[in-house]
Structure 1
Amino acid sequence: MNKFSDESVYSFIEYLQIEKNYSEYTIGFYKKDIEQFSLFMNAQGIDSFKSVEYFDARLYVTDLYSQKLARASVARKISCLRSFYKFLLREKLVKENPFVLVIQPKAGVRLPNFFYEEEMRILFEACDNSTLLGKRNLALLELLYATGIRVSECSNILIKDLDFDFATILVKGKGRKERYVPFGSFAYDALQGYISGVRDELMKGKQQHNYLFVNSRGGPLTPRGVRYILSNIIESASLTGKIHPHMLRHTFATHLLNNGADMRTVQELLGHAHLSSTQVYTHVTKEHLRKTYLNHHPRA
């Protein structure tokens, strides 16, 4: 890529960081998708982003399908490049958006995986409550399950964001949007125990800061650190199947809906901008009801 292209990508990434406030995890996908498109441009002899036309965009999508990528992956890459060119148009660096008319494939409904209540009990028991780090891990797990917050949101929590009088937490979500989320008695007790008897010990003799969760060296716990801890807890619990830390967020939403919570409330708690993002969990609850019916009705 030429200098023009490099500067364009740099400006776009800066825009995602500063104006859109996207996480490094999300930005990483944007970088990867643009880099992949740049390789395609090189192969086609296209020397700059402003030289790309609608035909080139269609050809690129055809190339993606030839790689046997999932529809969701193709849709994400198209969406990324459409956003990239929308930014370049805004900055008057290109004259048209070649991806604006490219049709995105419809992704099939993919039901989010979640933990059953018995599995959650096993996860909590996997935290060694006799050690400082075990108590920290329990507080972390309790808070994530109690609130359904994202891993990236969890790592940004400050001590002052907790209100123990009302058992609520101020969460800073995507796009600098803030929301208050309540937490229950189990998370309350675990957090109180962690703050009063663990956090200060882990930070003893270290540089002081106001982040709620700290690592073994007393520094702020990063999103990667949170994922590492959760992965270790899941591994220690010896649960089987395909498991990832984001399942705690899915579990929070699914358990609320299974126990009668209305969807609008769950949407607000999750920090979803659109109700459609929350509606996927209705598929989970319907499947749960169907399995319960088939397993227990005498004429099922």
Structure 2
Amino acid sequence: MNWKQAIKDFSIYLKLERGLSVNTLKAYTRDLNKLAQWLEINEVKELPAAITVDTLRTYIYELAKTVQPRSQARSISSLKAFFEFLTLERYREDQPMSLIEAPKTGRKLPDTLSTTEIDLLINSIDRSTLEGERNRAMLETLYACGLRVSELITLKISDLFFNEGFLKVTGKGDKQRFVPIGEYTIKIIELYKNEVRIHVPVKPDHTDTLFLNRRGAGLTRAMIFHVIKQQAITAGIKKSISPHTFRHSFATHLLENGADLRSIQMMLGHESITTTEIYMHVDRAHLSKVINEHHPRA
């Protein structure tokens, strides 16, 4: 089995057996193709079933010279998953990555915007244009519901359950969850949907897509990043922000206002509460206040 076929089979396995998202599949494939390209450039003829630990160590050493520890750790994780797949399918008996450790990357605390900064950024949008009204609705939705950027751009009109006060969100691995949405944000989305979107010539395969570009197709992740970066400049916000900043701010502000971590976990769509616990480090003063106000021994 050559590298091209092995990577293809692995991708099919990840999609069908593990139900991973398109973006995660692309990340795994990209990491494995980098290894295959490195082997070709260096004229290393070892195939997936026979590649040695020494060769993999050399590759990881060379990779570390060109990428940050976080990217290196992700590549190592991809390779471990790939070789676990090969052993599972009995293409090889050993796991050559078992003795190779990922670099320590630390846990970076999330950047957040204050409620004042959120208001400043959204209020600075030029609402005299169709794109401005759309951008306002998008950013309000990101902040009000704590969505990932991929969840925002795939949101459908049929996912809006406004009578019940929920959005149906399709997250990582195509897993669906219902996220509550407030009346204020519902009104803004309805305004966009009923007064702005109707003026866009919708492409046939995007009739159910909520947020559209001016050509009537769905928006890309890159476009959302660009909109936010430009709006931050307009609002005079110096922080380096992204769509994920709104998600972090959503969770942080809920925690600061008394929401429990389990509820935040469910709304964010985290499989493990340990992923959500990163928000516990954002405001220690808030945690002290919770103890003092609610613990019987305080």
TM-score when normalising by structure 1:
0.86
Post-superposition Cα deviations, 1:164-196, rounded to whole Å, max 9, x if no partner, equal 112210001111211100112321111110111
Candidates 260, 274, 277, aligned match of 2:258 = 260
Percent identical pairs in the alignment equals 35
Which of 236, 239, 257 lines up with 1:238 in the alignment?
236
SS of equivalent to 1:50: coil
Aligned counterpart for 1:182 among listed residues 180, 183, 194 = 180
Structure 2, unaligned runs of 5 or more: 289-298
Paired with 1:142 and 1:28, the residues of 2 have a C-alpha distance of 29
Q: Distance in 1 between matches of 2:16 and 2:143?
A: 30
Q: Please show how residues 85-234 of structure 1 align to structure 2 within 5 Å.
A: 85-203=83-201, 207=204, 209-234=207-232
Q: In the alignment, is the contact (CA less than 8 A) between 1:213 and 1:221 conserved in 2? A: yes
Q: Which amino acid aligns with 2:60?
A: V
> Which AA in structure 2 matches 1:255?
H
CA distance in 2, matches of 1:126, 1:57: 51
- Residues 72 and 107 in structure 1, CA contact (< 8 A), matched pair in contact too: yes
SS of 1:51's equivalent in the other structure is: coil
Q: Structure 1 regions of 5+ residues with no counterpart? A: 291-300
Q: Is the 8 A contact 1:23 1:152 kept in 2?
A: no
Give 1:62's aligned amino acid: Y
Larger deviation: 214-223 or 69-78?
A: 69-78
Structure 2: how far apart are the matches of 1:230 and 1:18? 34
Secondary structure of 2:283 counterpart: helix
Return closer, same or farther for 1:68/1:5 CA change in 2, 3 Å cut-off.
Answer: closer
> 1:261 deviation in Å?
1.1
2:20·2:174 contact (CA, 8 Å) conserved in 1?
Answer: no
Partner residue, 1:50: 49
- The 2-side partners of 1:21 and 1:226 are apart by 25
Structure 1 equivalent of residue 75 of structure 2: 77
Q: Helix, strand or coil: the match of 2:282? A: helix
CA distance in 2, matches of 1:95, 1:163: 50
Alpha-carbon shift at residue 20 of structure 1 (Å): 4.2
CA distance in 2, matches of 1:222, 1:69: 25
The DSSP-based 3-state class of the residue aligned with 2:87 is helix
Q: Distance in 1 between matches of 2:38 and 2:27?
A: 17
**Residue deviations 1:204-231 (CA, integer Å, cap 9, x gap):** 6x53611111111112223333333333
Corresponding residue for residue 30 of structure 1: 28
Q: Are the structure 2 counterparts of residues 276 and 216 from structure 1 closer, same or farther at C-alpha, using a change threshold of 3 Å?
A: same
CA distance in 1, matches of 2:86, 2:55: 17
Shift in alpha-carbon separation, 1:22–1:181, aligned structure 2, 3 A: same
Cα 1:239–1:272 shift into 2, 3 Å: same
1:19 Cα shift?
A: 4.5
Amino acid at match of 2:279: Y
Moved more, 12-21 or 167-176: 12-21
Mapped to 2, the partners of 1:228 and 1:24 lie a distance apart of 21
